[in-house]
Every structure is written in C-alpha cells, then in structure tokens.
C-alpha cells in the first residue's frame, strides 16, 4: 500500500462525523468537489472503498468503519493537543461548549458567562440547558453542571457541593390552608415541583419517609416552582440556595423545620483534565470559585 496522507485521513474522519459531503466541506473550508476528489484519492491509495456515497448522504463500508474507528480517537487527541498549544499564551481564544439546568443557567451561570466573556474577548461560549450528562458526548460538550448523578463512563465526575432541601409556602397560602405538622400531611396540600418523579425525602423519628408528590403544578424549572409558591399556589420542596432569598424577605415561610431533609447534589462533569484546553480550564476554575458560596447552603 502506498504511503497515506494524514491530511486526507483527517478529512475522511471529518466527513464521517459531519454525515454528508456538503456539511463536511463547509466545516473544512473547501469545496465539495475538492473533498470528493480527496476521498477518491484516499480510497485509491488504500485500495478499498471507504464510503458508499449518494447525493446527500453516505454510509461507511466495512473497511471505512475499520479505518474510522482506528483513526478518529487519535485525530481528536491531536486536535486537543494543538488547542492546548494555541491557548498556551496569556490570551485565551476559541470555543467552549457548556450545559447546565435551565434555572441554574438563568439565575447564575449566565451572569458568570457574561463576566468571563468580557474578560476574554477572543473566547465564545455555547450554553445549553440539561439536567444530566446524557448528551455530553453527542453535543461535544467541554463542561457540564448537572443535578442528577453522572452516568457517562470515561468522564471526570466531581461533586461540587451539597445543598439542604427546604419546604416552604407563602404566608397567604398557609393562612388559608394551614401548615403540615409532619411530612405525612403533605399529600393533603397543593404541592409544586419541577420533577414529579423525584421523591421528597425526610428523616422522621420512625425512620426515613419519602413522598412521591402528586403535584398541583409541574414546571421543569425550580425557579418557576419557587415563583409559583411565592404566588400562593402551594408548597415547594427545593434547594436552600433557591429558597433562601424569598424566605429572608418573608415571601415564603419554611414549614416542617423539625424534620431533617435529604441533601441534593450538584456535579461538574468534564473530559480528562490532562487534555483540557487552557480556555476550558480557566472557565472551569472561574465557575468553581463562584460555586464555592453554595458549598455551605
């Protein structure tokens, strides 16, 4: 077999990941005919068909799948190393892809991103909403903050902080409906939650008690749930760092304070830190510093 052009092999991997010739050509900054000729020359050199091509899509042959599986990880590693080298100076540059639960993004991470971008004008950030790490690989993320235990193998999973759960309702709601005296009273009240499948856990003198709520209102945003409670719609079970402010200014009143609740956790998920570009490492440190204030909440 003739010697192979590494550039042609890299383009081949890019084509597979893009899914079609037109998109791959756009991402590589070349014309589709140029990319097609490059692929034909590569197939001639290896002496095997690598892709079955049609007008819009293509499919890997057995040989193509073998080449892609053998090469893609190596080229990905090489790109990370080049990124590390290009980021090695004082000026950070390049893209960072991040995910976070919507409420946390709107109330906290968005502001931190704005601050970071002002400090580093050659960095751009793509922030997506997610509560778990299921899309980390598919979305090619650099960093995720998640509130569900991480499940993806091969990723670094760091617990950032624990938070106590509080139970609260508005003064108006409690004046009208009364207050629960034990956790077992909760089903008699209007309950508000962002995740009806997530239990409300308590430690009682008789042992652990967990309620699976039948809520009056469900919204996939803890911020929205807290707002509903402030507006007198019912009782919320939520993280202290979200309930602290409305409790302090008396828009909400805590209930069931004699019963200890279970802790909830926030995790940071990222790929191998040895391959982490400097810009991502800097943003990670920036976020971790700001999350420290929640560590006691």
Determine the angle formed by the axes of helices 62-86 and 6-18, rounding to 10 degrees: 100
Note the pLDDT of residue 81: 55
Please give the residue that has the higher pLDDT: either 227 or 198: 227
The answer on pLDDT for 2 being more than 80 is: no
pLDDT given for residue 258 in this prediction: 95
Per-residue pLDDT tens over the stretch 44-56:
888 888 888 765 5
Residues in CB range of 144: below 8 A, 6 or more apart: 98, 99, 100, 130, 133, 136, 268, 269, 270
DSSP tag of 30? S
CB 28 within 8 A of CB 84: no
Q: What is the pLDDT of residue 96?
A: 93
Would 6-86 and 162-264 be classified into the same CATH topology? no
Q: Which is more confident, 92 or 209?
A: 209
Output the CATH code of domain 94-156+266-294.
3.40.190.10
Position 273 scores a pLDDT of 60
Closest alpha carbon to 163 in 108, 244, 101, 218: 244
Q: How confident is the model over 194-202, as a mean pLDDT?
A: 89
Tell me: the pLDDT tens digits for 89-116?
Answer: 557 888 999 998 887 888 889 999 999 9
For residues 70-91, average pLDDT: 60
Ramachandran region of residue 88, left (φ > 0), alpha (ψ -120 to 50) or beta? Answer: alpha
Q: What is the mean pLDDT of residues 280-293?
A: 87
Residue 88 has pLDDT above 70, yes or no: no
Report the topology of domain 6-86: Arc Repressor Mutant, subunit A (1.10.10)
* Whole-number average pLDDT of the chain: 84
Count of Cβ atoms closer than 10 Å to residue 270 Cβ: 21
Between CA 12 and CA 253 the distance in angstroms is 61
Mean pLDDT of 281-290: 90
Pick the CATH number of 162-264 from 3.30.300.30, 3.40.50.300, 3.40.190.290, 3.40.50.280: 3.40.190.290
Residue 168 has pLDDT above 90, yes or no: yes
CA distance linking residue 59 with residue 293, whole number of Å: 50
| SS3 at position 14 | helix
Task: Provide the residue ranges of all domains of the chain, joining segments of one domain with +.
Answer: 6-86, 94-156+266-294, 162-264
In whole angstroms, how large is the CA radius of gyration of the chain?
A: 26
- pLDDT value for 1: 46
User: pLDDT confidence of 71, banded at 50, 70, 90?
Assistant: confident
> What is the reported pLDDT for 294?
64
Residue pair 92/120 in contact by the 8 Å Cβ criterion: yes
pLDDT tens figures, 226-281: 999 999 999 999 988 889 999 999 999 999 999 999 888 888 888 866 567 888 98
Whether the CB-CB separation of 246 and 252 falls below 8 Å is answered with yes
């Amino acid at each position: 077999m003739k010697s192979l052009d590494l550039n042609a092999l890299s383009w081949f991997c890019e084509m597979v990941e893009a899914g079609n010739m037109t998109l791959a050509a756009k991402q590589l900054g070349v014309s589709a005919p140029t990319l097609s000729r490059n692929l034909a020359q590569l197939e001639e050199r290896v002496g095997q068909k690598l892709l079955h091509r049609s007008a819009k899509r293509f499919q890997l042959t057995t040989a193509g799948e073998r080449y892609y599986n053998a090469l893609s990880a190596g080229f990905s590693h090489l790109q990370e190393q080049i990124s590390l080298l290009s980021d090695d100076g004082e000026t950070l540059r390049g893209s960072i892809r991040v995910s976070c639960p919507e409420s946390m993004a709107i109330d906290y991470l968005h502001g931190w991103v704005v601050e970071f971008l002002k400090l580093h004008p050659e960095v751009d950030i793509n922030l997506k909403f997610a509560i778990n790490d299921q899309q980390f690989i598919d979305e090619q993320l650099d960093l995720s903050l998640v509130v569900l235990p991480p499940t993806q193998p091969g990723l670094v999973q760091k617990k950032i902080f624990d938070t106590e759960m509080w139970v609260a309702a508005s003064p108006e709601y409690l004046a009208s409906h009364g207050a629960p005296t034990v956790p077992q009273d909760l089903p008699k009240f209007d309950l508000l939650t962002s995740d009806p499948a997530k239990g409300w856990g308590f430690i009682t003198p008789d042992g652990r008690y967990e309620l699976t709520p039948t809520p009056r209102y469900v919204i996939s945003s803890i911020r929205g749930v807290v707002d509903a409670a402030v507006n007198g719609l019912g009782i919320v079970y939520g993280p202290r760092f979200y309930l602290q402010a409305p409790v302090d200014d008396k828009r909400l009143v805590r209930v069931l304070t004699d019963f200890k609740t279970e802790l909830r956790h926030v995790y940071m998920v990222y790929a191998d830190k040895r391959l982490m570009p400097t810009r991502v490492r800097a943003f990670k440190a920036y976020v971790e510093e700001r999350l420290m204030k929640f560590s006691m909440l």
